Every structure is written in structure tokens, then in C-alpha cells.
Structure 1
Amino acid sequence: MANIRIINAHILDVVQGSLLPKQCLLIKDGLIEAVGNDLPEEPVDMTLDAAGRVVMPGLCDAHVHITAGTPDFVALRHWPPSYVTAHAKHILEGMLMRGFTTVRDAGGADFGYAQAIEEGLLTGPRLLFCGHALSQTGGHGDMRLPGDNQTDHCFCCAGLGKVCDGVAEVRKACRDEIRKGAHQIKLMVSGGVASPTDRIDSTQFAEDEIRAAVEETEAANIYVMAHAYTNRAIKRALEAGVRSIEHGNLIESDGIELLKKKGAFLVPTLSTYDQLALRGVEAGMPEALQKKVYSVLDAGLQALEAAWLADANIVFGTDLLGSMHDAQLKEFAIRGEIIPPDELIRSATVKAAELFNLSGQIGVLAKGYRADLLIVDGNPLDDPGVLQQPEKYLKLIMKDGRIYKNQL
């Protein structure tokens, strides 16, 4: 691994929301060794001249599905794992080339993908996985059609979820995903758009089942992320100890206050509803399921605004599926209608790191942190649009000190 010096850099301090001019960075063994404007000269393998461009931390996406090569999860159940992996390869490479150096998978990815990325067999962001998302029978992770009487579910194969009912089955399912290396456990605690037999406004899993999952993750020093739309489902999950609410489109003021009280995080995923409404059927989603999008589409922006005004913990996420992954950076544009640029960037860097329990490792350019960084033309604090056109403005991508794009 090369030792690298970056000179003539304007470093984006994401915590303060400001630029530090005329800085240098020294990178050794994949970590940031030093940052400053007067670093001592020492031998390096490579010197990169940022030429006054902005150097910022790599981006984080807290809600992805790298195995979702199609938005039709019923069909995905029947894809061979080899075919799923071929799609995942393309999805992962696209994410990294957009500047995402860490992503959190919300169902489908496993130890094999994370290890393949670590070993360089696949090119992509650092991957935090949950294995299969856990669902009750007939819940958002149960992709059987109403007339499907199959009982074994075949969720050891490709697909999003694993069905478990009752406290004992939930505990066993959590323990099995933890055994397989899960960084977090995903629960489906309300209805969803892509599932064929549930309603958006349903609550899922009994409270004792949710608490059992939380207990198992706390024992393993990880946490639960929960798919939830309605305020009722969100409050049940938060009271049980869930750390991260995914989507949250129908959250209300008391749900936001409870989120703050519990120190939990909200991960809106507005770009996926935008894209499902625009091209979901074209991308392969069954028309009957695509219609469910409209029950949460407009509410998502309202929920984001309410959470932002209440100073809740908000983290960047997208939840895109199939060919719609190419809209990943549009999430910045949608949220930018409400949230200022410095907070947008924090949500995809330091706030995400806090949620992931990786504070001190990623999200900031400082001594001892992983060398995940981007060099961009233009100042994202003035114009977040520079982050949305990577082919034009993103000049260098580095993850763990390795360079994946260099157009300096």
C-alpha cells in the first residue's frame, strides 16, 4: 500500500462546515497520518497536487440493497445467487464511482460480499451488512404471493428477507445473522411498498419480538435498524430500543420527540420514492406494488422537514433498486430543498459514522482516521450540485488509502 502526500488542498471540515485552506495530508498504510499546513518533508511513494481543489471525506449511504438487481423482490427470490452477484458487482462499482466509500446494506448482502470487497475480488465501498432482513409471516420481507402455499420460503437463497415468528424464532434468526458476521440486524416493523401481501399502515412483529431482537443485538454490541413508515410503528420500535428508523415517511411530532429522547437516528430514503414513481414499472416493479408508492411519496419530504426543524439525528440513505441505483446522488438534490449544504454533507459523513458506531474511523479527515477521501472541483458548501455530477467534478476517489479514480 502506497504512502501518499496530498498538497495544495482545501480541506472540508465537515464538523465545523468550513474549508481549511492550503493544507497537506500524509497517508500511510491506509490511514491519515497527519493533516496540516506545515508538514515535515519525508519520503513518500506518491505526491498528489490537489491544485486548490476541495478534499473531503468519502460519502456514506446508510440504506442500500446491493443485491437488489430488480425492484421485483418476488422475482428476485428465484434468481440464482451467481446472477445476483453479477448484478451486485455493477451496483457496487457504481456506488464507489459516485464517491460512496462506506455503505450500509439493509437486506440481502452477506459476509461473502464484504469479504470479497475487502480482498479486492469485488470493487466497491466498505460494506456493513445485516444478512437477511427479518420479517414476520406476511410482513414486508415475506415475498410469497397470496396464492403461494410454499412454507420453506427458500430464504437461504437470493432475496431480501427471512421469516420468523415468535420470540424464540426471532432470537434464533438474530443469533444466526450475528454468527454470520452481521454489523446490524434489520427488522421489518411495518408494511412496505415492495411486498405483495401487507399494507403500508400495518404494524409488524409483536413488541416482545422486537425487544428480543434488541436484546440479542445489545448482547453482541451491535444494534437494530427498523423499516417503519407509520408513527405507530416507529414509536413501538423506539420504545423497544431500536437505534435506527428507516424511511419514517409518516412520522409525527411525538414520534420525532421520542426519536430524540432515545438518541436514535432517522434515515429517510426520498430518492427511491421519487424514482419508483417516475420509472418503477419500467425498471421491473409490478404495477400493483408501484401504486403503493403514492401513499408515502409526498409525506416523506414533510417528515424530513419536521425532523430537521426539531434537530433530530438525520442520516443520508437512498434505498434504490435495480436500474434506479444511478439516481443515488439525487438524494442530495431532494433533501437540499429543505436542508442546507453543510448539514447535508454531515448526514453523509460524520452523522453516518456515528450511526454506524464508526466515529473515530470514518467521516472526518483527521489523524488516525481511515484514508477515505474525495477531491472535487468546486465547493460543496456553496453548491452541493458538484457532488451530483461525479463524472464532471469528482477528480479523485480514495478508500483505505487506495486510489480508485484519479483525474487530477
Structure 2
Amino acid sequence: MLRALLTLWLLLACAAVARAETVVFTDVNVVPMDRERVIARTTVIVDDGVIASIGRMAKLPAGTRVIDGKGAWLVPGLADMHNHVTTRDDLALLLANGVTTMLNMGEATSAFAGRTRIAVNRGEVPGPQIFTAFVVDGDPQYGHFVVRTAAEARAIVGLAKTNGYSFIKVYTNLSAEAFAAVAEEAKAQGVGVVGHNVAAVGLAGQLAAGQAMVAHVEEFFTGFFPAPPADDQQAPPDDARIGEAIALVKAHGAFVVSDLFTYKTIAAQFGKPEAVKAYLAAPEARYVSPADRIDWARSGYQRKAVDLSRRVAFEARFVKAMADADVPLIAGGDAPTIPGLVPGFALHDEIDAMLAAGLTPWQALSAATRTPGAFIARTVPGSAKFGVVAPGYRADLLLVADNPLEKPATLRAPLGVMANGRWSDRAALEAMLAEVEATRRAR
């Protein structure tokens, strides 16, 4: 059975990798995501991995591949802008869930950051377009690459760029001197700066120095909002301060990763081993690698009882306020390093969490499509445009049964996915999932 599934997967993968020169989608309702609208019952032509036209049916060469949408809905492929995916199996999970762009936010293996990233981005291996961030910290306690001086910080920016990293991710214990050098050198070399609150600097200083993205909403707890009272360390900030945080982000044009589901999932397992057991028994857990399952079971969250419920509720209000103020939010799944977060599925969970917080479907879908495209366009010079269905944009497309602006749940069941011009229909997506599940069982 495993051999048969593997053979089927290889055949489908090879078909997916072979990019057709021209692919035509007919009878599709397009949700372009350039603004809140629908282009009804139209035609989209893809040529050599790029959207060539919408609405014009030119005379096409014999043998041109035509995909009859039958009135389905065509939207931009989804973007997971904060994950820790490092394997081809997890890339398959992302693709099968409609994710066509990803940002690995740290600790990618050298093989993934180099060989796998290059192969996927060239179209030699199926998967979403990959961007990577190199993590630097000032202390080894979290296991990250350590830089302590300005000279070391400048050097690592150049090395990261040489090795294909698009971003430097700054971490908590970086010194003020090292952060300043990272920010200055990154600006000079065209490398984006993203990451956590650096305790020695604070988010106001980091954004002023050019940091383009805050990697977690909860970084504002330690990096901007006043410290909680000594007798109530998990007290949430005062809602009256939300406007100040929004003003700071907007003043610098920074992006913020919405990770509501991540934070809620972490909060739910503090001091609760039974929660981790439930995550391991969930249906999506059959796609989790044996190594990650072991790490989940050993997670330190379950060893310490902390009540974060008020902060979880505050984050929901904060994200809703940011969305309503047009702060550029980008969605991230943060899988698979945190128990309960499965690649691909976690991004849909985040979209659902944004909806539960009161965001409209347009706001939530924007955070997973057009806004990530705007983020990459601003921070990665020369990158292909994506995140909108429009001529000249990378052909990253998701075909779904219903209008996601009315029924966002339709995104969880794609009829097909096109990643950089390579089409995988529902049968191919299901085969990807089946092959990952079979591989996990075999190990």
C-alpha cells in the first residue's frame, strides 16, 4: 500500500512540477483581493507561471490546458508568514491546504534554507514559494545563533544574504549595540529585519530603526505596553493604550503577524498535560512527524500552570482594533514547533481565530493574501508580485466551491491549487495528504 501511494504521489508531483506554458481557467468567479469585489463568471489566463489576463479569451494554441471552473471561486493562494517548516512532507501539507507562499521564521536546516528552498522556488519540487529568516540573539539560552558585537552583527547580515536568507530575525536578548548594527547593515544590503521585542531596545526603537515586522502580537506585552503589577503578572494591558500601539505601528508602516490561534493554543496547555494529549489525538495530528510528536509530548508548557486567559481575550480586541485601523496584519501559523499547530491547518485555524475576534472575512483573507504580498514587495527587492489575482502577478491561485468573503470555511477544502503556475487538482491534493500520512505511519 505504501509503495502504491508513493508511486501515485511521484506521478502527481511530476505532473505538478511540469509547468504548462499556458493554462486557462474558464467560468470562474474571481475574488482578486485588490479591493473588496468579485469579478463574476470570467476567464483567467496564466502564461509561464504568471497571470496574463482576466476577462479576455484570446485564440489559444491547440492543446492549451483549460480548467473549467464551473462557477467556482478563484482567489489568491494563501500565505503563511510565520512558520518553522523544514521538510518536504510539511511543504506538501502547506500546499494541500492552499498555502502557496511561506516564511520560515527561524532555525531552518541548512539543507532546507539552501537546497530545498532553491528547488521549490525553481519549480523542481512541489511546494509554496519559500522565504527564510535567519535568527540572531545575544544569549545562547534559546539555542539561536549568538552575536554580541556590532562587527559580528554586520558580518552575519552579509553571510545570511549570501546564503539566500531574505530576513534577519532579531530575538529577545540581542544587545542594543548589536541590534543597531543589524538594522544599519540590513538596510544597506536590502535585507529585511523582523522578529521579537529586543528587551534592550523596545519596539518603539526597533521600528524607528527600520524593523519591518513584529513577529507576534504578544511582543507588545513586553516591548511596548507598561509592565503588569507585581502582584498580577498576567494582567492584560489597559485597552486605553491600544490606540498608542496602533499609532506607533502606523507611524513606521510596520507589519504585525496575527498569531491569535498560536497564543490561544499555548495558553490552553500551560500546566495541562491533558491538552497536549488531546492535540496528539486530534485528526490533523496524523500528519505530524514522529520527531515533532515527541517534541510536543515533551513540551515545557505543560509543566507550569499559568492563566493567560485575560491576555488571550485582550489580544483578540487588540487585533480587531488594528484591523479596523488598517494596520497591515499578516497571518502566521507558527507550526509545527508548538504543540497543536499542524502545518497548513494552523493557518486556517488562524483565519478562524481572526474571524472569532470580529474581523470581517475581507480583513482575515487580506491578512493571508494581499497584505503578505505587500510585505514581501516592500522588504525583498526584486521579488515576484503575489497575493492578488491580477495581470503580472505570480500565478498562485486557490479554487474553492464558495465565495470566501461570505463562507470563509470554503478555504479549508480547495478544489485545486496553482502554485507559481503549477496546477494540482483535488485528487492530487488528497494524494499529497495520503502520502504524508503513510510516510508518518511508516516511521
Query: What TM bracket, shorter-length normalisation?
Result: 0.7 to 0.9
**Aligned 8 A contact 2:136 2:174 in 1:** no
Separation in 2 of the partners of 1:263 and 1:346? 16
User: Structure 1 residue 8: deviation in Å?
Assistant: 0.4
Q: What amino acid is the match of 1:50? A: G
Q: What amino acid is the match of 1:321? A: P
Which structure has more RCO (C-alpha within 8 Å, separation ≥ 6)? 2
What is the correspondence of 1:229-248 to structure 2 with a 5 Å cutoff?
A: 233-248=202-217
Measured on the aligned residues, the alpha-carbon RMSD in Å equals: 2.5
2:82 to 27, 50, 63: 63
**Aligned 8 A contact 1:273 1:293 in 2:** no
TM-score (ref. length: structure 2)? 0.73
**Aligned 8 A contact 1:247 1:267 in 2:** yes
Alignment correspondent of 1:397: 417
Q: Do structure 1's residue 89 and structure 2's residue 88 form an aligned pair?
A: yes
TM-score (ref. length: structure 1)? 0.79
**Aligned 8 A contact 1:207 1:240 in 2:** no
Quick check: 204-213 or 102-111, which moved more?
Answer: 204-213
Structure 1 or 2: larger helix share? 2
Separation in 2 of the partners of 1:103 and 1:129? 8
Regions of 4+ moved over 6 Å: 229-232
Alignment correspondent of 1:171: 154
- Report SS of the residue matched to 2:417: strand
Q: Do structure 1's residue 266 and structure 2's residue 256 form an aligned pair?
A: yes
Paired residues, number? 349
Separation in 2 of the partners of 1:369 and 1:310? 27
1:182 to 160, 165, 168: 165
User: Structure 1 residue 290: deviation in Å?
Assistant: 6.5
Q: Do structure 1's residue 364 and structure 2's residue 393 form an aligned pair?
A: no
User: Structure 1 residue 302: deviation in Å?
Assistant: 2.9
User: Structure 1 residue 380: deviation in Å?
Assistant: 0.4
Sort the Cα spacing of 1:373 and 1:116 in 2 relative to 1 into closer, same or farther, 3 A.
Answer: same
Q: What amino acid is the match of 1:318? A: G
User: Structure 1 residue 254: deviation in Å?
Assistant: 2.3
2:329 to 296, 309, 314: 314
User: Structure 1 residue 165: deviation in Å?
Assistant: 1.1
Alignment correspondent of 2:320: 305
Alignment correspondent of 1:133: 135
Structure 2 portions without partners, runs of 5+: 1-18, 225-241, 270-274, 278-295, 429-443
Alignment correspondent of 2:64: 45
**Aligned 8 A contact 1:266 1:315 in 2:** yes
Alignment correspondent of 2:51: 32
Separation in 2 of the partners of 1:247 and 1:275? 14
Separation in 1 of the partners of 2:198 and 2:158? 26
1:16 to 31, 35, 38: 35
Alignment correspondent of 2:175: 206
Query: Could you report, residue by residue, the CA deviation over 1:285-314 in whole angstroms, capped at 9, with x for unpaired residues?
Result: 124677568385444223212322332111
Structure 1 portions without partners, runs of 5+: 68-87, 144-160, 191-203
User: Structure 1 residue 9: deviation in Å?
Assistant: 0.8
**Aligned 8 A contact 2:174 2:200 in 1:** no
User: Structure 1 residue 370: deviation in Å?
Assistant: 1.2
Sort the Cα spacing of 1:311 and 1:100 in 2 relative to 1 into closer, same or farther, 3 A.
Answer: same
Separation in 1 of the partners of 2:304 and 2:255? 27
User: Structure 1 residue 138: deviation in Å?
Assistant: 4.8
**Aligned 8 A contact 1:228 1:247 in 2:** no
**Aligned 8 A contact 1:272 1:321 in 2:** no
Separation in 2 of the partners of 1:377 and 1:117? 28
Sort the Cα spacing of 1:224 and 1:353 in 2 relative to 1 into closer, same or farther, 3 A.
Answer: same
Sort the Cα spacing of 1:384 and 1:232 in 2 relative to 1 into closer, same or farther, 3 A.
Answer: farther
Separation in 2 of the partners of 1:291 and 1:52? 51
